[in-house]
């Protein structure tokens, strides 16, 4: 029984090592232009009375939102294309 357990553990270790080698060899290190990076894509500026603007730095679209009364609900009031 102990021999079978050792054989099973060794088999799993070999399969794991082979899969790591395959994953490392197949990694794509090239810069893919289709990949999307959303870091710094949006900038948010706050205004008076809880109003705020959201700027999409890729497209140049600015969306302005206003708070509806004292609730936590906001409504889109304007959309401006700056580019």
pLDDT tens digits for range 30-68: 655 555 666 788 888 888 777 889 999 888 899 999 888
Angle at 81 between CA 78 and CA 83, to 5 degrees: 160
Which pLDDT score, from 0 to 100, does residue 54 have? 92
Residue 61, both tokens: 């679209």
Alpha helices in the chain (DSSP H): 2-25
Q: Is 28 helix (H, G, I), strand (E, B) or coil?
A: coil
- Quick one: CA dihedral 17, 22, 23, 29, positive or negative? positive
Neighbours of 51 (CB within 10 A): 14
Query: pLDDT tens across 6-26, in order?
Result: 888 899 899 888 888 888 887
Can you give the residue ranges of every domain in the chain? Answer: 2-26+40-81
Mean pLDDT to the nearest integer, 74-82: 88
């Amino acid at each position: 029984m102990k021999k079978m357990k050792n054989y099973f553990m060794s088999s799993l270790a070999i399969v794991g090592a082979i899969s790591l080698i395959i994953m490392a060899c197949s990694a794509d290190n090239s810069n893919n232009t289709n990949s999307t990076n959303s870091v710094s894509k949006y900038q948010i500026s706050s205004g008076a009375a809880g109003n705020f603007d959201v700027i999409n730095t890729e497209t140049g679209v600015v969306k302005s939102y206003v708070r509806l009364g004292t609730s936590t609900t906001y409504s889109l009031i304007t959309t401006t294309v700056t580019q």
